[in-house]
Chain A
Amino acid sequence: MTAPFEVSQTVSLGLAVVFGLFFGVSLERGGLGDPHKLTGVFYLRDFTVPKFMFTTIVVACIGLYLLSDLRLLDMDRVWIVPTFFWPQLVGGALFGVGYVISGYCPGTAVVGFASGRLDALVTIFGIGAGSLLFAILFPYLEGFYLSSDMGAATLPGLAGVNHWVVIVPIVAFAGGMFFAMEKYEKKESAR
């Protein structure tokens, strides 16, 4: 039997709580409940967010494709995040604006609130209100929301290359970026 597994609902929901606990501890211990740290990259004073995000992506990505290559995981049964090009480009940009203005993202707003920040609770209410607004405006947005449907498109799939041809440059880019950020931070702290 290869992964992912067909588990009972109880097991699945129990796992969700366990993964959520690790999710919370890693974000909190990474300092990602703090809006000053979360916005730091955009003001070139704290690079915690890109360091954290790219490490997460690289670790999970290498692991996922390695398990698939070793036939320990059936990639065909993994639910790939579907691509809707324009809604995700516009959504990503609006999200970036909201992120800088509030100083949180949805996950880190929960972490911020759990560490005592009342402004993060306000942001959580805002996120709820924003989703309600989307649902109310949905009749006008539906056409755009469903446009540019590319299904389970992946970078190696689109380029028609082996996944490692994409992974190696991403790892190299992340490594180069980390190196540059460390150098920049050392230079800034010496000033």
Chain B
Amino acid sequence: MQKKRFWSPYLAGAVLGATLLATFYSVGHGLGASGAITLVTAKGTFTIIPEFIGRLKYFAQYLTPVSPLINWNIFVLIGLFLGSLASALFTGNFKVLLDKTKTMRVSTRLITSLTGGILMGFAARLARGCSSGVALSGGAQLALAGWIFVIAMFAAGFIIAALLRRLWS
């Protein structure tokens, strides 16, 4: 087994910190991830069921973008995917699998993957962003939003992990 599979978290975190700083410096706002997934969802579902999706007031801002930030995040998402794909391929860290603990059943893992995702998708829209757009970007700006989100996320995470001890151990 290789001893050093990854970079030190301090080094990797510093690289992202410098990237976030470059984002603030050049374009004047932070980096997001969840907004792009919402945009793809809004546009995708609109092509399938336009009457229903077109009536959703919340999706109007995604279907006819008023903020250029919304489209910007799609390009971040493309970079994020390609960057991590290249990184995983070049370091031999790419492997197709369904990642779970040894004792967890495949069906259980599919359910946890999906329900956890649904919760996060809902929560990120309520909070106006996720761990990237609110916690990291807002946190670095010393925005109250970022610190509320970080504290609430970690507090709730510790509680749910204590209740669901076998989920990841």
Contact = CB atoms under 8 A, between A and B. Distances in A.
Interface of A: 3-5, 7, 9, 12-36, 39-43, 45, 47-61, 63-65, 67, 73, 77-85, 87-107, 109-120, 122-136, 138-139, 141-142, 145, 150, 152-156, 158, 163, 166-167, 178
Interface of B: 5-7, 9-10, 12-31, 33-34, 37-38, 40-42, 44-45, 56-59, 68-69, 71-73, 75-88, 91, 93-101, 109-110, 112-158, 160-161, 164-165, 167-169
Contacts of B83: 20-25, 28
B117 A129 contact: yes
A3 B119 CA distance: 37
A93 B128 contact: no
Contacts, number: 520
Contact of B110 (A4, A23, A106, A122): A122
A29 B7 contact: yes
B93 A115 contact: yes
B154 to A, nearest CB: 7
B144 A153 contact: yes
Which DSSP category, helix, strand, loop or mixed, fits chain A's interface? Answer: helix
A91 to B, nearest CB: 3
Contacts of B133: 81
A91 B25 contact: no
A92 B84 contact: no
Given A29-B6, A77-B28, A92-B153, A57 B139 contact: yes
